Structure 1
Amino acid sequence: MSDAGEYETGGMFQDPEGFYPPEKEPTFAEHHMLSGQTIRVRLVGSHPLYGDLLWNAGRTSSTHIETRARELVEGKDVLEIGAAAGVPSIVSAIKGARTVVMTDYDDPDLVDNMRWNATNATPLIPIPNCLHVEGYKWGSPVDKLLAYLPSGSTGFDLLIMADVVYSHREHGNLIKTLQQTLKKAPDSVALVIFTPYQPWLLPKTEQFFPLAEQSGFRVTKIFEKVLDGLLFENDPGDEKLRRTVFGYEIRWAMDI
């Protein structure tokens, strides 16, 4: 019988140094509020769920929330899903929300990055410990999200859904999360704000809204804004649509 050492492979199955490209380092971006305050966020260096970008819909949502802060967030409970860097959540906390829960897919890199951004924004937030971070997969049980609500609260007053409806196969899960987390009250609202970065898929993206109406909600289009610049300059498709941000409000349709 041969010695075991005869079969040692040494390093023949190890990838040589430099075989894989180095991981991209995190980058940083700034959002300038109308109030003059600046939010600096860290972006994941490279991620398949696009956590490495500060999206136009996120910036537009943040400005919309700031403009209507008294109505939408002051003293309210806020949930953001698909938050990425979480700028709308941070703006909500700065503008006086009672509770803010910032969520994205339960991936360690995304969650750790959201937590870093939330901690970094602490000096700007007037209510201590109001901003929370949680990993969450759309359509899954929401108990851990509702647990952040103050005693007696049955749901969130505001849901922020910025650039999430592009994921067409997730529309049913998004509706399920909406049904389980939006407080059943006349003034509760979900903001669904997006840009059609692939304009030819816009009809499929817009199928989310009749699905919401079939699921007990009322849908209202609130704006259509054409921005000056493109987020992805070299992408194909109608340039104006790729610069356009669409905004919708979703509320419960039934009598509360």
Structure 2
Amino acid sequence: MAEDNRDDDLNTGDLFKDPEGFYPEEPKPTYAEYRTLSGLDLRLRLVGSHPLYGYLLWNAGRTTSEHLERNADKLVAGKDVLEIGAAAGLPSIISAINGARTVVMTDYPDPDLVNNMRQNADAAAPFISQGSRLHVAGYKWGAETDEIRSFLPEPSAGFDLLIMADVIYSHREHQNLISTMQRTLKRSADAVALVFFTPYQPWLLPKTEKFFPLAEENGFTVTKIFQKVLDKVLFENDPGDETLRRTVFAYELRWAPDRLLH
């Protein structure tokens, strides 16, 4: 009687194994260097590639960080700080270095982005001011804020400072960003949201700027504090006015007087 070789007949070998190089190699993380005004050298890990541009150290993030350091006594020291759309989290780290009481670094709740923020927070730990607490969390703009407020010493009070660097380019998210501001910014005359941005697509600047009248309609005052032309563009091969693509526009948003808690 012949031996049953059915198992041999079904042995497909490497038929269903993807050939080497079939899938593109996952881009490796890159790093960006940043020297603080006080002379500290920070090395920030950037995700290798991501549709939300977590692999970049944005111009507005750099400019915001410089502004925070120059004005640390007024804006940061002893304050509770929330960064929205943090990517590598440089402004959050600068806030923690300069004596913020609480810092919550957030970006979209994607594991790669959150893990990258956490690694940067851990790497910055030796530089963080004693008494400062730096936390990392995933957060989708417009969603409930219970988790990010839970890091506060007084969760019901809200944050003294919101950092929003290069986030309003996403026009469809304007209302969600404002909703997050309403839920998280302390109802105090001193509380402020910093909204810094660069028009990387200059022809869309009027659409981007619609964020500000929308914020006013929702209870905030808007003050432009400066604009700064940087030495280099972030995306060298992009079209449009180069000067605008090198410019960071800086705004402060505060609660309108009639929206404050008295």
Is 2:185 the counterpart of 1:182? yes
C-alpha distance in structure 2 between counterparts of 1:12 and 1:117, whole Å: 42
1:21-170 equivalent positions in 2, closer than 5 A: 21-128=24-131, 130-151=133-154, 154-170=157-173
Partners of 1:10 and 1:213 in 2: how far apart?
A: 66
Q: For 2:248, what is the secondary structure of its paired residue?
A: strand
**What is the one-letter code of the residue matched to 1:249?**
E
Change (3 A) 1:99 1:46: same
Question: TM-score under structure 1 normalisation?
Answer: 0.95
Residue pair 1:98, 1:127 contacting (<8 A) in 2 also: no
Q: Is the 1:90–1:121 contact (alpha carbons within 8 Å) kept by the matching residues of 2?
A: yes
Specify the alignment match of 1:206 in structure 2: 209
* Cα offsets for 1:70-110 (capped at 9, x unmatched): 11010000000100000000000000000000000001111
Q: Identity rate of aligned residues, in percent?
A: 69
Unaligned runs of 5+ in 1: none
Separation of aligned partners in 2, 1:222 and 1:16: 56
Q: 1:9 to 1:206 in 2, by over 3 A?
A: farther
Instruction: State the distance in 2 between where 1:159 and 1:89 align.
Output: 10
Q: What amino acid is aligned across from residue 41 of structure 2 in structure 1?
A: T
Which protein is bigger by CA-based radius of gyration?
2
Give unmatched runs, 5+ long, in structure 2.
1-5
The answer on whether the counterparts of 2:99 and 2:132 sit within 8 Å (CA) in structure 1 is no
Distance 1:209 1:152, change over 3 A: closer
Q: 2: CA distance between counterparts of 1:178 and 1:9?
A: 58
From the superposition, tell whether residues 157 and 129 of structure 1 become closer, same or farther in structure 2 (CA, over 3 Å). closer
Hey, which bits of structure 1, 4+ residues long, moved more than 6 A?
Answer: 3-8
- AA of the residue aligned to 2:79: K
Shift of 1:14: 4.0
User: What do residues 116-140 of structure 1 show as CA deviations (whole Å, max 9, x unaligned)?
Assistant: 0001001101225600000000000
Deviation at 1:65, TM superposition (A): 0.4
- Cα distance change, pair 170–152 in 1 and its aligned pair in 2 (3 A): closer
Provide the aligned C-alpha RMSD in A.
Answer: 1.6
From 194, 198, 218, the counterpart of 2:197: 194
Is 1:100–1:130's contact at 8 Å kept on the other side of the alignment? yes
* Number of aligned positions between the proteins: 254
